[in-house]
Amino acid sequence: MFDRSTLPSRRTILKGAFAGAVLLGAPACGPGNATGNASETPRRGGNLRVVVSGASTTDDVLDPHLAGSWGGGAVAKNVFDKLVAYNHDLTLRPRLAESLEPNADGTVWTVRLRKGVRWHDGKPLTADDVLWSVKRILDPANKLPAAADLSMIDLAGSRKVDDTTVELRMTQPMADLGALLAGWYVYVVQNGTNTFDKQHPPVGTGPFRFGDWAPGERTTLLRNDSYWEDGKPYVDSVEIILAASADARLNVFLSGAADIVHELSHVQGKTQQGNPALTIHQSPVGTFQAFNMLIDREPFTDPRVREALRLAVDRKAIVDSVYFGYGEVGNDLYGKGAPNYADSIPQRAYDPEKARALLREAGKENLTVTLHTSDATPGFVESALLFAEQAKKAGITIDVSKSAADSYWTDVWLKQPFTQTSWGSYALEWFYGQAIVSTAPTNETAWKRPEWDRKFATARGTLDAEQRGQRYLELQQELWSDGGYIIHSYAKWLDGVSPRVRGFAGTTVATDDWCGYRNVWM
């Protein structure tokens, strides 16, 4: 977990077509409904101040391969770049790569780099930088989370073809390598770089260069005048301010200390709708909101208990009462809106009587569990309390234990058997590698099924799109029936934006335009 707008004008959908090169179109423009008038000409200058979730000095790091928090992700997004990135509908757009070309069976992928890109220190981007980045991510000594994303790359068999061409060899066929190269952590860093701190400032290829850093408080970025997207960015600087709770973030904004507030709570979205000091933007696709059970810990080892708890939640009531309609009900599956998401699986409904019967069968009548929550993410506490009320009809007692927002992700999540989680939007290939397979670095349900892992490896290497879709359906059917997630909602991400900000639009969390400020002007 991480706390851990039109559609682009020209976009390329990468779905593992192997008839030839997978060509990436021109860089897509930002998502629609952007602030300002479309006829306005962006002007340069000004200092943009944004406030985003965070406040932990441990999570606030400058290493893009470790920056798992929202705040760290916002910094990485603007200082570094990826080979490819997600549009908000999870198709791909080009960044540092101009094309990704697989061979006939998906075992070798050729990456051709954009020419003319320079690092902040003036050095040119080369194939050596890409190979170093892959090597650094895969080095077991570094214990980097993106190793799960790139685990199928055979580094020894990969090579530099020329200064702007890399050949990546796979250990198994890959139908859509781009979906993994667009993952949260998979940034290209400069050849030989291993340390990212104040004494060794990060050097990237992104629209902004490093300025200053107060860990757990704020990071200042300065415009990169040599950025490869002509004319961008527009603002002179970006100050990224960290605040742990939604109330704290809104207070920073309303005090005049920020121009954009990210991740408003949904009640704030409702109450601030008429406030002329801000315009509210919502993401096209919501972040998944879930209660997650560690299925290797009692009482969650029993699949009947897991199913009973999934039946004891009224999802529509949570969307209406907690998210005030800014969202959709979830169906205990990740990836709503993503390619190969299993829309055909029936929607699980609130059924407390069936839940009660399952618990009786399991010998767990009058079940009592503790659900750990926090203000770390808007809606966590409210949905936990509402779930506790709903579960009473099934004879279940849920004791809600609230932890501090600034320590929840480090001290509670992954440690307690019943917690809450939230993820942005990625391809299924990426999420399963990060959170579902037995060796996943953030396996927050302790789902460890070697046979499921084998089926997943087969699915993501299946070149025929129809057959691949069927295999992903089977994987999801197993997760829906037996997994450890209760994904009750997909809640829209809400941002509040000052009227003086132009060029900003709400977009899906973790996609290319999320917390990206290269299109923003004042």
The tens digit of pLDDT for each residue in 323-366 reads 999 999 999 999 998 999 999 999 999 999 999 999 999 999 99
Distance separating alpha carbons of residues 62 and 107, to the nearest angstrom: 33
What are the pLDDT digits (tens) for 385-411?
999 999 999 999 999 999 999 899 999
User: What phi and psi, each to the nearest 5 degrees, are found at residue 507?
Assistant: -145, 165
Query: In 10 A of CB 256, how many CB atoms?
Result: 10
The better pLDDT of the pair 18, 94 is held by 94
Q: Do residues 495 and 476 make contact, with C-beta atoms less than 8 angstroms apart?
A: no
Spell out the SS3 assignment of 218-281: EEEEEECCCCCCCCCCCCCEEEEEEECCHHHHHHHHHCCCCCEEEEECHHHHHHCCCCCCCEEE
What integer pLDDT is reported at residue 39 of this predicted model?
74
What integer pLDDT is reported at residue 32 of this predicted model?
44
- pLDDT band (50, 70, 90) for residue 182: very high
Q: Is the pLDDT reported for residue 181 higher than 70?
A: yes
Q: Is the pLDDT reported for residue 13 higher than 60?
A: no
When pLDDT is averaged across residues 365-383 and rounded to a whole number, the result is: 96
Largest CA distance in the chain: 68
Q: Count of residues for the chain?
A: 522
- pLDDT band (50, 70, 90) for residue 90: confident
Token look-up 């169906």 returns 331
Residues β-bridged to residue 227: none
Q: What is the pTM of this model?
A: 0.85
Q: Do residues 221 and 208 make contact, with C-beta atoms less than 8 angstroms apart?
A: yes
Q: Is the pLDDT reported for residue 302 higher than 90?
A: yes
**CA distances in angstroms from 56 to 97, 346, 373, listed in the order given:** 34, 40, 17
Q: Is the pLDDT reported for residue 299 higher than 80?
A: yes
What are the pLDDT digits (tens) for 150-168?
999 999 999 999 999 999 9
When pLDDT is averaged across residues 415-440 and rounded to a whole number, the result is: 94
* Mean pLDDT computed over every residue of the chain: 92
Q: b/e map of 90-112 (b: 16 or more CB within 10 Å)?
A: bbbbbbbbbbbbbeeebbbbbbb
Least confident of 18-22, 257-261, 290-294, 405-409: 18-22
CA 235 to the chain's CA centroid: 25
Residues β-bridged to residue 147: none
What integer pLDDT is reported at residue 9 of this predicted model?
24
Provide, rounded to the nearest whole percent, the portion of the chain with pLDDT above 70.
93
Residues β-bridged to residue 113: 97
**133 Cβ contact list (under 8 Å, min separation 6):** 186, 187, 188, 189
Q: Is the pLDDT reported for residue 77 higher than 90?
A: yes
Q: Within 13 Å of residue 338, how many CA atoms lie on the same side as its CB?
A: 28
Q: Which two tokens stand for residue 379?
A: 């809606």
Q: Which two tokens stand for residue 221?
A: 């970025």
CATH for the 286-492 domain, from 3.10.105.10, 3.80.30.20, 3.20.20.70, 3.30.210.10 = 3.10.105.10
- pLDDT band (50, 70, 90) for residue 18: very low
Distance separating alpha carbons of residues 363 and 304, to the nearest angstrom: 10
